[in-house]
Amino acid sequence: MKKLLKIGFSAVVLGLFFTSCNDEDDYQTIESIAKIKIDSVKVVKDTMDVFTIQSIKTYSAYSSQCEGFYGYDYIYNNNLARTVTAYKFMTSGPCIQGNHVVASQINFSPQKIGTYSFKFWNGGNNWITKTIVVQ
């Protein structure tokens, strides 16, 4: 019985060893990252309680299916001020051209009472400003 287990285990190990990876996966490689302007912002509640969570949605227009949301640069300027810049990724390869809007979100969970000011980058030196009062 032990001999059969050893042979079976050896066969599994050899099978894994000789298995090759398929390099023809159907995905695109990220070629670059760049800022993308935030066209609009949706804040559901402009007043909220401390230690609660609110999703703040941002919307940006992308010019092809080879572009998508990558992440935010979320900077605490002081205790109550935030600046938010969105970034997109770009891939190479065959893409469907045409604008499409993508929604992304930030989960805001304030730790202290106050009036928070958010500035979302809207291209150039333009910003969309939103204020949330935390009680």
Look at residue 27 in the predicted model and tell me its pLDDT: 66
Domain count, the chain: 1
Q: Which of 17-21, 40-44, 87-91, 105-109 has the lowest mean pLDDT?
A: 17-21
How sure is the predictor about 122, in pLDDT bands with cuts at 50, 70 and 90? very high
Question: Is 132:120 a contact under the CB 8 Å cutoff?
Answer: no
Domain membership flag for residue 14: no
In a domain, 59, yes or no: yes
Whether residue 83 lies inside any domain: the answer is yes
Note whether residue 9 is domain-resident: no
pLDDT band at 4 (very low <50, low <70, confident <90, very high): very low
Residue 69 counted as domain residue: yes
Q: Which domain holds residue 105?
A: 29-134
pLDDT in tens, 84-113: 999 999 998 788 888 899 999 999 999 999
Residue 80 forms part of a structural domain? yes
User: What is the domain-level CATH number for residue 71?
Assistant: 2.60.40
